[in-house]
Structure 1
Amino acid sequence: MAEDSEAATSSGEISPVYGISVIDEKQLIRIEAVHRGFLYQHLYGAACLLLAGAGEVQRIVVEGDEDIEIVLPDRRIYVQIKTRNGKLAAGDISGALERFEDIREEHRKGARPGIPSFVIASNAAPNGPLEKQIASSDWPEDVELHWPDGPERTLPCLPRPPRDLADALSVCSELAGQLPFALLRPETLTWKLASLVMLASAGSPPRKDHSFSRAELPGLFEQLVVQMQELPAPPPVYRAQMNEPALLAEKPVRIIAGLSGAGKTAWLAEAAQHAPLPVTYIDVVEMPGAALASAVAREVAGRMYGRSSGKLGEILLPGASGLDMLGTLSVTLGQEGLHADVVIDNAHRIPASDIEAIVSRAPHLRLLLLCQPGPGVAALEARFNIQAEALNGWDEDTIAAAAHDAGCLANFADCERLSRLTGGLPFYVLNAATVAARDYGGAIRAFCEDVEAQTHIVETAQEIILKRAFEGLPADAREAIALLSVADVALSKDEGTQLLQETCGLDAKGAAARLRALPSTGTLELFGMTGLKIHDAVRMLGKAELAARGPDLEKKVQEVLRGIIIRSIRQDWSIGKLGLLIRLFGQLGDARILVEFATDELFHEMGVWPEIEPYLLAIAADVDGEAEIRLWALDGLVFNDLRTGQFEPGETRIDAMKALLDEHDLGEDEWLAWGMKRMLLMSMVGDAAGVQEMLGLVEGRVPAKAEHMRVFRYNRALAFFKLGDNTTAVAEAGKLVEEYYDALGLTPADVMGRNPPQLRPLLPKGRDNTDQLKHLADTLDLLAQAAGRKSQRSTMARIHAMKFYELAQAYSSFVRVGMDLVDELVWVNDFESARYTIERNIFPVIQAIGLTSDVLELRALYAVVLAYCGDHQAAANEVERLRPYEEAMDPNHRAAFQDQKQIISDVRRYGGPPQRRVDIPPPLQALFDQRRGATPSVEPRKKIGRNERCPCGSGQKYKRCHGR
């Protein structure tokens, strides 16, 4: 009925799948309309099936001569279904009326028995001309027009036409709820019937004749008495996990493996509701393996043939063995061209040989095995030469929605933290949210901090459920898990072996043996052949086990791991390893090294500030500590205060730095650190006199070296910019940019059209250029800000700044300047370039590096850009995903987000400005292309889509590389 589907709307609103754009929006609108029409027809057919039992209906035919045909003892009703957005017009039904005449002729000739009746069922009322036509004497007496508010129906075997899809689902569910002895939920039965109508419409087995007989109805409506188990009911609110596997497939055996709490049963229950074919469920939690064949034969035969006369007697023969009955069942299915889909829950408890016997004897059965990790899964994988599939847990947005519904507050970083604690497993996330709401005032962050520090009092469901399995492991395995739990990033096989060797005093073979024993328990994740990590959900138990073994062992493993990570970072640097190293330094009390980290500007670019801040606060507050170390700890804290606009704590800490300078004999570097910070603070609070005073003091003490003077001049230009003197700032920044280009042996022409990987070989050899690259990028950023929007100079400065920030690995500034560039592109109505910049340049860095602090702000900006690009539904979807974070946002960000929501709403209602049609400048095109080059090195992150490219750079899909 493609030609009868509703007409495309004129609003231009579309519903694209998130992350996928379409070339032809009108084509998408047409496709959606066609599918809405088909689904409306299938639900109407389901309603006819539900009404057939109370009438004299002998058979219902779908997609025969008409959309629906109802066969009664003495008559045959032909139903044509029409869906429209507006009124129904005469032209919409003219073709149907002509076909009706052809069908009448068949009945007149006696080619078909019974008296024909015709119905046009529509969700739309007739327009004025059509109403007049119906009331005229020319209207055929045997044709009725049905619509939602039309006359009372005279045919009890036909439903009132629903208004739309939601109404159709409601009508069917109401009818399904009236069935006696129905064990399925009304909504579940509705979807089942709609799927069967769709199957019959396609003429697929067992519905090659497109029809349903009256005798079949009890079997379609009710669960069969011969069955002893039924599919579990889905949760009231089901939230999908990342990249969920399909429930049905053509493979003879599949395995879904996951820890208890991973949501396997909920996934099955939800997926089964929408399965077009029947699914037989068997839970073998306390079933001996020898009884499995009989149970499968009974359940499948009951599901497939429980209402067929004589079939069960042929299959379930008295005295026959379970395997014999399965063989007969499989032959019967094969003769009818069918397969039976069977889900076996807790299959890890059944010997692999018993399952293999079923597979060998019954080739027309497709088995889906739900298992918990362990030796049983390994045996099944080996036996059938298959790889277990996994449920990947909830992503951060889904965790945020669940936490919000539980009455909790959480920003993106909090949700990622909770994901790492729970592995994203649904049951553990929900329990954690419940505990946080009850005992932590809804603060997910406070709950995570307590659990990570092992200072929480209330035992979580995660600990309770997993503890039993953990305590059942051998002592050597528990010790290995405890030691490896200190690392929350993937270690290489050699690194894991070395950690066990040096901590436990093992030789290489002994350490490797311990590692080999862990994957089958589900506690150790393997990334290809090179990486390994304790499962996130298990690490909590491992850390508790380590604490119970005493502080000496804990300190020893921290010291060994610190050395391993230091060596590892030199070979394969990543943000995750840096964060782990910082925590290890803090736990071992390496204050001086922590201070060196905090006073390095690049450190603040890595997104690991939350890891080090608690340690710096403790060092700065230690009155017995070394004055120099305390001052540099304060310097790192002040740098972050000024960077994030927290002026009051910044001023307090600057005063504390001055007090240390007055009380102790510290050097020139310490005084300059204080002087520079005070000068910048004065400029940020608008104290021009204070700035001038500090400029005079600082300039007299800056070393007379070119690099030191350039840093001073940059800070001076920045101070003038903060005071509103853009002219001076632009002039000074422009001179500094030229000097930094000279120092790096580059010219702006060298940068034009080149991406960072192409620029790196042009840099001076034999020295570390990182600081100069960062300073040049900072100066270009200052130049862009001072020059203002709508300026080609500011646009090019931002593009070049992004390139140099990437070369310096200053990722936080890269993202910030990238968002400024997007703002500028939006300002000049170049929305397509703005979208391209976010999708191809900024998002990949955010994902690879894990800069959680920038995620929400960037996504809110992205939603606005989507709206301006005309992807209104995608913008609305993004806003909905961000709503659970709104209450936990920083007040300034929350206010901005509310303004952005209003912009998105206004653009959708009134339209936005037209896209600026200009050729993309080569430098901007080069920026767009630069993400095709090298990406930052990061450890494989768990939350990667299975069909995405693996972050390791192999070029393979994640599921075939580190996702294995």
Structure 2
Amino acid sequence: MANDSEAAKSSGAKNFVEDVAVVDERQLVRIEAVHRGFLYQHIYGAICLLLAGANGVDRVIVERDEDVEIVLPHRRVYIQIKTRIGSLSFGDIEGALQRFDEIRREHGKGARDGDAGFLIVSNAAPSGPLLKKFASDDWPKDVQLHWPDGPAPTDSFLPVPPKSIGDAISTCSTLAGKLPFALLKPETLTWKLASIVMFASAGSPPRQDHSFSREELTALFEQLVVQMQELPAPPPVYRAQIDEPALLGDQCVRIVSGLSGAGKTAWVAEAALHAPLPVTYIDVVDTPGPALASAVTREVAARIFGRSGGKLGEILLPGASGLDTLGALSVKLGEEGVYVHVVIDNAHRVPASDIEAIVARAPHLRFLLLAQPGAEVIAMEARLAVTAETLHGWDEDTIAAALHDAGCQADFGDCQRLSRLTGGLPFYVLNAATVAAREYGGSVRAFCADVEAQTHVVETAQEIILKRAFEGLSAEARETIAILSLADVALSRDEAMKLLQGASDIDARAGAARLRALPATGALELFGNSALKVHDAVRMLGLADLAGRGGAAESKAKAALREVIIVSIRKDWSIAKLGLLIRLFGQLGDARILVGFATDELFHEMGVWPEIEPFLVDIAASAEADPETRLWALDGLVFNDLREGAFEPARGRIDEMQVLVEANGLGEDEWLAWGMKRMLLRSMLGDAKGVNEMLGMVERRISAKAEHMRVFRYNRALALFKLGDNTTAVAAASELIEEYYGELGITPGDVMGRSAGELRRQLPTVRDITNTLKHLADTLDLLAQAAGRMSQRSVLARIHAMKFYELAHAFDSLVRVGLDLVDELVWVNDFIGARQVLERSIFPIMQGVGLASRVIETRALYAVVLAYCGDHQAAADEVARLRPFEEAMAPGHREAFQNQKRLIENVRRFGGPRQQEVNIPASLQALFDQRRGAPRVVEPRRKVGRNERCPCGSGKKYKQCHGR
């Protein structure tokens, strides 16, 4: 970044060229339009297949000379298909008309049989000029034009063009429903036909000629119906998991491993609907290993070559072994030039040696093995030289949708908690939703709290299913899992060994032996070769087992983990480890340490407050705690109350602080803590007299030290700002900012043109300046807010505040000020600049730190910005993903979200203001660039791949979400 300037008052439409960003957004729009057109075309082709048999069609051809060709005994109709958002213009079809001329000449000179007819099909009505040309005398008589509300087709083998992809699916499904296959849902056949048309369009074997003959249609429909009826039925509502793998692949063998309840079979059933090739499904749950080859041969041969006679006789030789017949089948498939895809479910029930034998004997079969993790999967990986893939469960949005449909209420944080308890595995999430709806009045938060505390009385399906496997383990393995279940973060192997040694009184050799044996149980998640964690879905059982071993054993294990995490957090800091450490302090009764956390402002910034609050409430109410500890616990609770605008709880707690100070003769620091909090509450309630009274009292007792006076002056300015005195607040904040810059030994000019990472190198290193950085950022934020009330632009102050908040690790305030910056950019019609701030700065911070409390409001604002940017479909999609959270929103947030939904709809219907056309200021460029040099405290962020999960938490690929 060269410098910050007056250009910082706005940003503009230039795109940032970054690996994680789309280089050309218009190109992305074109790509999406192309694929939308292809899908429409494939479904239209499927409709033509369904109409062909009863209407004398000899052959349907896709993607040869034209998109679709209908061949009749003495006639051939060439169809060009166009999809448009607006109207269809002459320019859209001019090339097609020229190509029709060439084809017409081929028929005229006898190179092609029969008469030629031509048809242009579109989902959009023709424009006025095109309609005029179509009605003119010089329009070719053999060229028809079809659109949804146009004249009805005169040929019964041609459908009325659907208006959209949704209408196309509906039309195709209606026709499919007339086939005599009542057990198969019409939509299922529609998707299978569309995938078959897509496959033929590519000229893939066995459809190198791109065509379907009339004689084979009945057999084709029957084959699809038989295949789909033999596959497991997909659930009525299928919700995709995170980064689902492809069903079909080129590898000879793949393994997809997951616990029972992970949704492996449902994934196969759903993916098979869209697979362009036949898929043979075999459940080997009761099949002996030696019989596997015969079972595979029988099912595949019958599926591919029919159930009797012909080629089956060449494969199913009398007296031949199962492996011999499987080999003969593979040879025959090779002669046909095809590969067959076979899904083997419950593959862990078959010895790995038998799996290896059939894979080696059948090179023209592609095997997908579904298995539960354990020793047999490890053996299969070793014998087959493959690494098992996994299904990653549902993301928070998907969990929220499932909970909403079950009649439950959950905010984003609740969905995160449930994800941790269930591993996000679909069956366990759905069962938890059922239990929460029935036993907890739909409150997912209450359900999670009971399960975490092991006080729930209704056993979940997760516990029932996994308990049998857990109880089948050795006592040593169960104890190991129970101890490691205390950690909900990944531990290094050395850390895990130290934990086991401290909790079980074993030596290093015994600890290493336990860890080596643990992967075979299937309960462990491995992260490369360096870290491990008990699977989230299993942790519930492990914690219950540990609780059943008695309070002394449980406390010993927690104390051992506390020491491990204290050492670990110094080497490799993370928010997740901090949250775990705070819980351990609370559970082990380390009250003073928790109170120390609560009274440090930075711990309110890191998203760990929910971990601290329950313990502080207990400490503040405890008659056994000393008065000083209780007061500081109340101080931390009041600080958070004031942040959240919870004035009534704050009032009661401030009164309790006063009683503790006066009744116990506490010191000056305790009195000032009470006085400052009371002054701020008075200002927030608009009590000017109360504020002035407290200001006088506090000023008389405040220390003369410069640091203390600056804090007091800031709080005084903040109080006056809350009372509406913006002029005084601006003046006081400006003076303080100058002093803080002096304290840090820099000037505003040093901040210009530097990211947070670059700025760090300009700061003092001989002392801890974290509080000074935080106070400077707070003061810049106050200046921006007060100036904004006076209709003054404050982009620059907010950008600089964000830099200092990042340097101070005050991430919650960073996100809050970032959202204020977005609001200001929207206010001046700089929608693209607002979108860049969200996508390049705010979302990465939230994802890296895990600020669940800010996710919903940020994404709701993002939806508004998308609408203002003209990306109406993306805005609507974002709103749809947020709707399941709506019922659990706080009343004020719910009202704001409803207003945002109305605004988005109005922008879609009536349009929004025009985007400013100016250059992106250097200050915003630096704000985005500083992500590369972010401090270590934010968990290291590598560049997001375009096909990876988007950092915002939507569950979509980055290129389909914020990477747009």
Instruction: Kindly provide the amino acid, as one letter, of the partner of residue 544 in structure 2.
Output: A
Question: 1:484 aligned to 2:478?
Answer: no
Q: Aligned to 2:270, what secondary structure does the other structure show? A: helix
Q: Which residue of 2 aligns with 1:650?
A: 650
Q: Which residue of 2 aligns with 1:400?
A: 400
Question: 1:560 aligned to 2:560?
Answer: yes
Q: Which deviates the most, 496-505 or 179-188?
A: 179-188
CA contact (8 A) 2:375 2:522 kept: no
Measure how far apart 1:362 and its partner are.
1.2
Measure how far apart 1:571 and its partner are.
1.9
Q: Which residue of 2 aligns with 1:231?
A: 231
CA contact (8 A) 2:227 2:278 kept: no
- State how far apart, in whole Å, the 2-side matches of 1:780 and 1:531 are: 41
Q: Which residue of 2 aligns with 1:9?
A: none
Change over 3 Å in CA distance of 1:175–1:636 after alignment to 2: same
- State how far apart, in whole Å, the 1-side matches of 2:807 and 2:228 are: 65
1:656-705, Cα deviation, whole Å (9 max, x unpaired): 11111222121111111111111111111111111111112111111222
- State how far apart, in whole Å, the 2-side matches of 1:670 and 1:203 are: 80
Q: Which residue of 1 aligns with 2:12?
A: none
Cα RMSD after superposing both structures:
3.3
CA contact (8 A) 1:182 1:221 kept: no
Q: Any unmatched runs of 5+ in structure 2?
A: 1-18, 952-956, 959-964
Question: 1:864 aligned to 2:864?
Answer: yes
Q: Aligned to 1:533, what secondary structure does the other structure show? A: strand
1:313-369, Cα deviation, whole Å (9 max, x unpaired): 222223222222222222222222211111111111111211211121111111111
Question: 1:514 aligned to 2:514?
Answer: yes
Matches within 5 A, 1:758-837: 758-788=758-788, 794-837=794-837
1:261-319, Cα deviation, whole Å (9 max, x unpaired): 11111111111111111111111111111111111112222222228972222222232
State the TM-score, normalized to the length of structure 2. Answer: 0.90
- State how far apart, in whole Å, the 2-side matches of 1:679 and 1:718 are: 10
1:504-550, Cα deviation, whole Å (9 max, x unpaired): 11111111111122223221111222221111111111110011111
**Identical aligned residues as a percent:** 73
Q: Which deviates the most, 534-543 or 893-902?
A: 893-902
Greater RCO (Cα-Cα under 8 Å, separation 6 or more): 2
Q: Aligned to 2:230, what secondary structure does the other structure show? A: coil
- State how far apart, in whole Å, the 2-side matches of 1:652 and 1:705 are: 31
1:567-589, Cα deviation, whole Å (9 max, x unpaired): 22222221111111111111111
Q: Which residue of 2 aligns with 1:178?
A: 178
- State how far apart, in whole Å, the 1-side matches of 2:150 and 2:309 are: 43
Q: Aligned to 1:696, what secondary structure does the other structure show? A: helix
Q: Aligned to 2:441, what secondary structure does the other structure show? A: coil
CA contact (8 A) 2:809 2:937 kept: no
- State how far apart, in whole Å, the 2-side matches of 1:682 and 1:800 are: 30
CA contact (8 A) 1:235 1:266 kept: yes
- State how far apart, in whole Å, the 1-side matches of 2:226 and 2:825 are: 67
- State how far apart, in whole Å, the 2-side matches of 1:881 and 1:93 are: 38
Measure how far apart 1:923 and its partner are.
3.5
Q: Aligned to 1:700, what secondary structure does the other structure show? A: helix
CA contact (8 A) 1:604 1:640 kept: yes
Q: Which residue of 2 aligns with 1:15?
A: none
CA contact (8 A) 1:346 1:371 kept: yes
Change over 3 Å in CA distance of 1:567–1:249 after alignment to 2: same
CA contact (8 A) 2:82 2:120 kept: no
Measure how far apart 1:636 and its partner are.
1.0
Change over 3 Å in CA distance of 1:526–1:87 after alignment to 2: closer
Instruction: Kindly provide the amino acid, as one letter, of the partner of residue 864 in structure 1.
Output: V
Q: Aligned to 1:788, what secondary structure does the other structure show? A: helix
- State how far apart, in whole Å, the 1-side matches of 2:722 and 2:890 are: 23
Q: Which residue of 1 aligns with 2:79?
A: 80
Q: Aligned to 2:168, what secondary structure does the other structure show? A: helix
Matches within 5 A, 1:240-259: 240-259=240-259
Measure how far apart 1:398 and its partner are.
1.0
Q: Any unmatched runs of 5+ in structure 1?
A: 1-18, 952-956, 959-964
Question: 1:621 aligned to 2:621?
Answer: yes
CA contact (8 A) 1:173 1:187 kept: yes
Measure how far apart 1:884 and its partner are.
1.2
CA contact (8 A) 1:183 1:222 kept: no
Q: Which residue of 2 aligns with 1:12?
A: none
1:583-625, Cα deviation, whole Å (9 max, x unpaired): 1111111111111111111121121111111111111112233
Q: Which residue of 2 aligns with 1:14?
A: none
Matches within 5 A, 1:443-842: 443-788=443-788, 794-842=794-842
CA contact (8 A) 1:226 1:299 kept: no
Q: Aligned to 2:589, what secondary structure does the other structure show? A: coil
Q: Aligned to 1:735, what secondary structure does the other structure show? A: helix
Q: Aligned to 1:556, what secondary structure does the other structure show? A: helix
Q: Which residue of 1 aligns with 2:934?
A: 934
Q: Which residue of 2 aligns with 1:899?
A: 899
Q: Which deviates the most, 43-52 or 235-244?
A: 43-52
Q: Number of aligned residue pairs: give it.
A: 933
Instruction: Kindly provide the amino acid, as one letter, of the partner of residue 235 in structure 1.
Output: P
Measure how far apart 1:418 and its partner are.
0.9
CA contact (8 A) 1:777 1:800 kept: yes
Q: Which deviates the most, 95-104 or 690-699?
A: 95-104
CA contact (8 A) 1:184 1:223 kept: no
CA contact (8 A) 1:226 1:298 kept: no
Measure how far apart 1:252 and its partner are.
0.9
Change over 3 Å in CA distance of 1:332–1:456 after alignment to 2: same
1:754-795, Cα deviation, whole Å (9 max, x unpaired): 222223233333322112221222222222222226877733
- State how far apart, in whole Å, the 1-side matches of 2:919 and 2:133 are: 57
Measure how far apart 1:117 and its partner are.
6.5
Instruction: Kindly provide the amino acid, as one letter, of the partner of residue 899 in structure 1.
Output: N
Q: Aligned to 1:567, what secondary structure does the other structure show? A: helix
Instruction: Kindly provide the amino acid, as one letter, of the partner of residue 357 in structure 1.
Output: A
Measure how far apart 1:143 and its partner are.
7.6
Q: Which residue of 2 aligns with 1:222?
A: 222
Q: Aligned to 2:366, what secondary structure does the other structure show? A: strand
- State how far apart, in whole Å, the 2-side matches of 1:572 and 1:131 are: 69
Measure how far apart 1:110 and its partner are.
6.5
Question: 1:910 aligned to 2:894?
Answer: no
- State how far apart, in whole Å, the 1-side matches of 2:170 and 2:62 are: 21
CA contact (8 A) 1:777 1:804 kept: yes
Measure how far apart 1:160 and its partner are.
4.7
Measure how far apart 1:849 and its partner are.
0.9
Change over 3 Å in CA distance of 1:702–1:906 after alignment to 2: same
1:118-172, Cα deviation, whole Å (9 max, x unpaired): 6666656789999999999999998877665677766554445444433332232
- State how far apart, in whole Å, the 2-side matches of 1:920 and 1:139 are: 51
Q: Which residue of 2 aligns with 1:441?
A: 441
Change over 3 Å in CA distance of 1:362–1:629 after alignment to 2: same
Q: Which residue of 1 aligns with 2:50?
A: 50
State the TM-score, normalized to the length of structure 1. Answer: 0.90
Change over 3 Å in CA distance of 1:589–1:579 after alignment to 2: same
Change over 3 Å in CA distance of 1:76–1:890 after alignment to 2: same
Q: Aligned to 2:212, what secondary structure does the other structure show? A: strand
Q: Which deviates the most, 51-60 or 838-847?
A: 51-60
Change over 3 Å in CA distance of 1:224–1:145 after alignment to 2: closer
Instruction: Kindly provide the amino acid, as one letter, of the partner of residue 475 in structure 2.
Output: A
1:423-444, Cα deviation, whole Å (9 max, x unpaired): 1111111111111111111111
Q: Which residue of 1 aligns with 2:347?
A: 347
CA contact (8 A) 1:440 1:446 kept: yes
Measure how far apart 1:111 and its partner are.
5.9
- State how far apart, in whole Å, the 2-side matches of 1:456 and 1:859 are: 33
Q: Which deviates the most, 123-132 or 304-313?
A: 123-132
Q: Aligned to 1:560, what secondary structure does the other structure show? A: helix
Change over 3 Å in CA distance of 1:184–1:304 after alignment to 2: farther
Change over 3 Å in CA distance of 1:299–1:20 after alignment to 2: farther
Change over 3 Å in CA distance of 1:102–1:852 after alignment to 2: closer
- State how far apart, in whole Å, the 1-side matches of 2:225 and 2:689 are: 90
- State how far apart, in whole Å, the 2-side matches of 1:788 and 1:380 are: 64
Q: Which residue of 1 aligns with 2:10?
A: none
